[in-house]
Amino acid sequence: MKDKRVLLIVGGGVAAYKALLLTRLLRKAGIAVRPILTKAGAEFVTPLSLAALAEDKVYQELFSLTDEHEMGHIELSRSADLIVVAPATADLIAKAAGGFAGDLASTTLLATDKPVLMAPAMNVRMWLHPATQRNIATLKADGVSFVGPDEGAMACGEFGPGRLVEPEEIFAAIVAMLEGPAARPLQGKRALVTAGPTFEPIDPVRGITNRSSGKQGFAIAEALAKLGAEVTLIAGPVAQPTPVGVKRVDVETARQMLAASQAALPSDVGVFVAAVADWRVDEAFGTKLKKEKGGPPALTFVENPDILATLSASGPRRPKLVIGFAAETDHVEEHARAKLARKGCDWIIANDVTEPGVMGGGENAVLLITQDGTERWDRAAKDQVAGQIAARIAKALG
């Protein structure tokens, strides 16, 4: 990335402050940033702060004798590997779609021959307006790429789509475009990942769960997204941050996880990392159980649905590649290979959870078990293991 350059157009709006954070991320990665600050953008961030973070001159005026002498606007529009508009306001989007060239930002977008990435930010009504949607469709047809917007509360007090995505997500999209398709072999593929434990309630305050932290599943979801996959992560109750570029669905019980997984189909690959509770009580109590003189209550257990086996046998909606996980305490390979046959999946990734630092920790040592044999991978950080798994998935989906 150290020889790459981004031309960053900063539009107006409260979200313009995120352009400063984005600039810091880009510079930290060694990517050069040359900013264009619109008149509206200058109402929210200062040229001085943007120049300090970018370590470059900030361009603002189309008819600046100094700027035109140092670098004409045509040369400026072609001086970078990628043009990024963040925030991309409704006004900037409309000007670009209509081919207007009344200021430096719109002229740059019209005169460039480089790829363009826009990160929209505007009021929900403006985003949903037919004119904006027409403009978005026009720009996409012209080859412009988009990241976001997010849905949520806005500075205007309304709620809905239109929020600028976080700088980390824009940064990831920038890196993906600069690296090109060779670095994103899973582009256009859909991935389903489950992670974390499930929690099966006994009463309003007690339940059945396990020690899974969700770290390995979240790391796999992130690794797949970095390779270009469209990832849906079904997460049990864990305190892990959502990976950049990943759609997260939070669930609690095994039945909820199964329903969410089925709703995420069709998918090219399903990676079922979650440590799902095998049993639940037949009927959760509506009030907290109290200690009684007769001793603890008798609980009747029933079996939870088998998510891995169900998805492995889901007919035409079955993922092309189904991967299960086996957390074992003894005879790891033997139990895992039996699970491979029993569940009907394609691969099993097994580990010994009695190893220190594995269950809930940051490292893992796994076996990759397929019909063709067994591979033993050295112990490594969970994100490194995730990267290896993602690379093998990309190779398998070819």
pLDDT over 70 at 65, yes or no: no
Extract the tokens encoding 91.
């006004």
* Domain final residue pick, 147, 179, 211: 179
Question: Do residue 169 and residue 272 come from a single domain?
Answer: no
- Does the annotation list 339 as a binding residue? yes
- Does the annotation list 305 as a binding residue? yes
In terms of pTM, does the model score above 0.95? no
Question: Do residue 111 and residue 155 come from a single domain?
Answer: yes
pLDDT over 80 at 154, yes or no: no
Q: What is the per-residue pLDDT for 158?
A: 77
* Domain final residue pick, 163, 179, 195: 179
The Cα–Cα gap between 112 and 118 comes to 14
Mean pLDDT, the chain, integer: 90
Question: Do residue 53 and residue 150 come from a single domain?
Answer: yes
The per-residue DSSP string of 88-144 comes to E-HHHHHHHHHT--SSHHHHHHHH--S-EEEEE---HHHHHSHHHHHHHHHHHHTT-
Question: Do residue 228 and residue 346 come from a single domain?
Answer: yes
Q: What is the per-residue pLDDT for 180?
A: 78
Question: Do residue 64 and residue 148 come from a single domain?
Answer: yes
Picking from 153-162, 174-183, 254-263, 368-377, which range would have the lowest pLDDT averaged per residue? 153-162
Q: What is the CATH number of the domain that holds 69?
A: 3.40.50.1950
184 confidence band (pLDDT: 50, 70, 90): confident
Q: What is the per-residue pLDDT for 13?
A: 87
- Does the annotation list 307 as a binding residue? yes
151 confidence band (pLDDT: 50, 70, 90): confident
Question: Among residues 65, 64, 46, which one has the least CA distance to residue 54?
Answer: 46
Question: Do residue 117 and residue 253 come from a single domain?
Answer: no
The Cα–Cα gap between 181 and 13 comes to 32
pLDDT digits 0-9 by tens, 108-122: 999 898 999 999 999
What mean pLDDT comes out for the span 213-221? 94
- Does the annotation list 39 as a binding residue? no
Question: Do residue 258 and residue 375 come from a single domain?
Answer: yes
∠ at Cα 371 (366, 374), nearest 5°?
A: 30
pLDDT over 90 at 182, yes or no: no
Question: Do residue 356 and residue 378 come from a single domain?
Answer: yes
pLDDT over 90 at 87, yes or no: yes
User: Number of structural domains, the chain?
Assistant: 2
Q: What is the per-residue pLDDT for 150?
A: 85
- Does the annotation list 395 as a binding residue? no
The Cα–Cα gap between 102 and 95 comes to 9
Extract the tokens encoding 289.
């159980």
What mean pLDDT comes out for the span 213-241? 94
84 or 328, higher pLDDT: 84
DSSP SS3 for 307: helix
Structural domain for 358, as ranges:
183-397
Pairing of strands 321-328, 230-235: unpaired
Query: Do residues 370 and 350 make contact, with C-beta atoms less than 8 angstroms apart?
Result: no
What mean pLDDT comes out for the span 374-385? 90
Query: Do residues 385 and 361 make contact, with C-beta atoms less than 8 angstroms apart?
Result: no
Q: How far is CA 159 from CA 154, 162, 173, 207, 222, in A?
A: 6, 9, 25, 34, 27
Query: Do residues 163 and 152 make contact, with C-beta atoms less than 8 angstroms apart?
Result: yes
* Domain final residue pick, 134, 161, 179: 179
- Does the annotation list 220 as a binding residue? no
Q: What residues contact residue 184 under an 8 Å CB cut-off, 6+ apart?
A: 176, 227, 228
Extract the tokens encoding 233.
């992560």
Question: Do residue 166 and residue 215 come from a single domain?
Answer: no
- Whether 345 is catalytic is no
DSSP class of residue 181 equals G
Q: How many residues does the chain have?
A: 398
Q: How far is CA 139 from CA 84, 112, 149, 371, in A?
A: 14, 14, 15, 47
Question: Do residue 268 and residue 335 come from a single domain?
Answer: yes
Catalytic residue among 156, 183, 263, 338: 156
pLDDT digits 0-9 by tens, 291-335: 888 888 889 999 999 999 999 998 999 999 999 998 888 888 899
Question: Do residue 157 and residue 201 come from a single domain?
Answer: no
What mean pLDDT comes out for the span 57-78? 73
pLDDT digits 0-9 by tens, 359-369: 667 888 899 99
Question: Do residue 45 and residue 192 come from a single domain?
Answer: no
- Does the annotation list 306 as a binding residue? yes
Q: What is the CATH number of the domain that holds 187?
A: 3.40.50.10300
Query: Do residues 157 and 365 make contact, with C-beta atoms less than 8 angstroms apart?
Result: no
